[in-house]
A and B are shown apart, each in its own frame.
Chain A
Amino acid sequence: MSALEVRGLTVALPRGADRAQAVSDVSFQVEKREIVCLVGESGSGKSVIAQAIMGLLPAALPVSRGQVFLEGEELTAAAPARLRELRGARMAMIFQEPMTALNPVMTCGAQLDELLLFHGRTSPAERRKKILQLLGEVALGDPERMLASYPHQLSGGQRQRIMIAMALALEPALLIADEPTTALDVTTQSQILKLIIEVQKRHGMAVLFITHDFGVVAEIADRVAVLRLGELVESGRREEVLSHPRHDYTRMLIASVPSLKPAQRATLPAGPAALETKKLSKTYTERRWLGPRREVHAARDVTLAVRRGETLGIVGESGSGKSTLARCLARLIEPSEGDIFLGGTNIARSKPAALRPLRSRIQIVFQDPYRSLNPRRTVAQALIEGPVNYGLSREQALERAGRLLALVGLEGSSLERYPHQFSGGQRQRICIARALAVEPEVLIADEAVSALDVSVQAQVLRLLEDIRRKLELAMVFITHDLRVAAQVCDTVAVMHRGRVVEYGSAAEVLVHPRDEYTQALLAAAPGRDFGFGSAAQEAARPGSGA
Chain B
Amino acid sequence: MAVLVFLLLRLTPGDPAAILAGDAATAEQIDRIRASLGLDRSIEAQFAIWLGQVLTGDLGQSFYYRMGVATLIGQRLEPTLALALFTLVLSVCVAVPLGVLAAWRHGGWLDRGLMAFSVGGFSVPTFVVAYLLIWLVSLKLGWLPVQGYVRFSENHLLFLKHLILPSITLSFIYIALIARVTRASVLEALGEDYIRTARAKGLPETRVLLRHALANAAVPIATVIGIGIAILIGGVVVTESVYAIPGLGRLTVDAVLARDFPTIQGLILFFSFVYVMVNLLIDLSYAFLDPRIRY
Given contact pairs A95-B196, A100-B192, A100-B194, A118 touches B203 in the complex (Cβ within 8 A)? yes
In the complex, A65 Cα to B92 Cα: how many Å?
45
The residues of A that contact B212 with a CB separation of less than 8 Å are 103, 106
Given contact pairs A103-B212, A105-B291, A152-B292, A115 touches B194 in the complex (Cβ within 8 A)? no
What are 12 A-B interface contacts by the 8 Å CB criterion?
A: A87-B200, A87-B202, A93-B197, A93-B200, A95-B197, A103-B198, A104-B292, A105-B215, A106-B211, A106-B212, A115-B202, A118-B201
In the complex, A467 Cα to B291 Cα: how many Å?
48
In the complex, A106 Cα to B289 Cα: how many Å?
10
Interface residues of B (CB under 8 A from A): 192-194, 196-204, 207, 211-212, 215-216, 218, 289-292, 294-295
Let me know if B201 and A86 touch, CB within 8 A: no
A454 within 8 A of B: no
A361: min CB distance to chain B, Å: 40
Let me know if A150 and B292 touch, CB within 8 A: yes
In the complex, A449 Cα to B295 Cα: how many Å?
38
The residues of B that contact A416 with a CB separation of less than 8 Å are none
The residues of A that contact B201 with a CB separation of less than 8 Å are 87-88, 92, 114-115, 118, 166
Interchain Cβ contacts within 8 Å, total number: 77
* Minimum CB distance partner of A83 in chain B: B202
A101 within 8 A of B: yes
Let me know if B200 and A54 touch, CB within 8 A: yes
Let me know if A106 and B204 touch, CB within 8 A: no
* Minimum CB distance partner of B201 in chain A: A88
Which of A87, A105, A288 touches B199 (beta carbons < 8 Å)? A87
B63: min CB distance to chain A, Å: 45
* Minimum CB distance partner of A84 in chain B: B202
A252 within 8 A of B: no
- 9 A-B pairs with least C-beta separation: A88-B202, A87-B202, A100-B193, A88-B201, A103-B194, A93-B200, A150-B291, A101-B193, A101-B197
Category for how many chain A residues contact B: 20 to 34
The residues of B that contact A114 with a CB separation of less than 8 Å are 201, 203, 207, 211
Interface residues of A (CB under 8 A from B): 54, 56, 84-89, 92-93, 95, 97, 100-106, 114-115, 118-119, 150, 152, 163, 166, 288-289
B221: min CB distance to chain A, Å: 13
In the complex, A150 Cα to B194 Cα: how many Å?
13
In the complex, A86 Cα to B199 Cα: how many Å?
11
The residues of B that contact A101 with a CB separation of less than 8 Å are 193-194, 196-197
The residues of A that contact B203 with a CB separation of less than 8 Å are 84, 88, 114-115, 118
A84: min CB distance to chain B, Å: 5
Other A-B pairs, 6, CB within 8 Å; known A106-B211, A115-B201, A118-B201: A56-B200, A87-B201, A92-B201, A101-B193, A105-B290, A115-B202
The residues of B that contact A103 with a CB separation of less than 8 Å are 194, 197-198, 211-212, 215-216
The residues of B that contact A106 with a CB separation of less than 8 Å are 211-212, 215
* Minimum CB distance partner of A97 in chain B: B193
The residues of A that contact B192 with a CB separation of less than 8 Å are 100
In the complex, A89 Cα to B196 Cα: how many Å?
16
The residues of A that contact B198 with a CB separation of less than 8 Å are 103
The residues of A that contact B218 with a CB separation of less than 8 Å are 105
In the complex, A119 Cα to B194 Cα: how many Å?
18
Let me know if A95 and B289 touch, CB within 8 A: no
B188: min CB distance to chain A, Å: 13
In the complex, A95 Cα to B200 Cα: how many Å?
10
Let me know if B290 and A86 touch, CB within 8 A: no
In the complex, A467 Cα to B203 Cα: how many Å?
53
Which of B193, B197, B291 gathers the greatest number of chain A CB atoms within 10 Å?
Answer: B197
The residues of A that contact B290 with a CB separation of less than 8 Å are 104-105
* Minimum CB distance partner of A119 in chain B: B202
The residues of A that contact B292 with a CB separation of less than 8 Å are 104, 150, 152
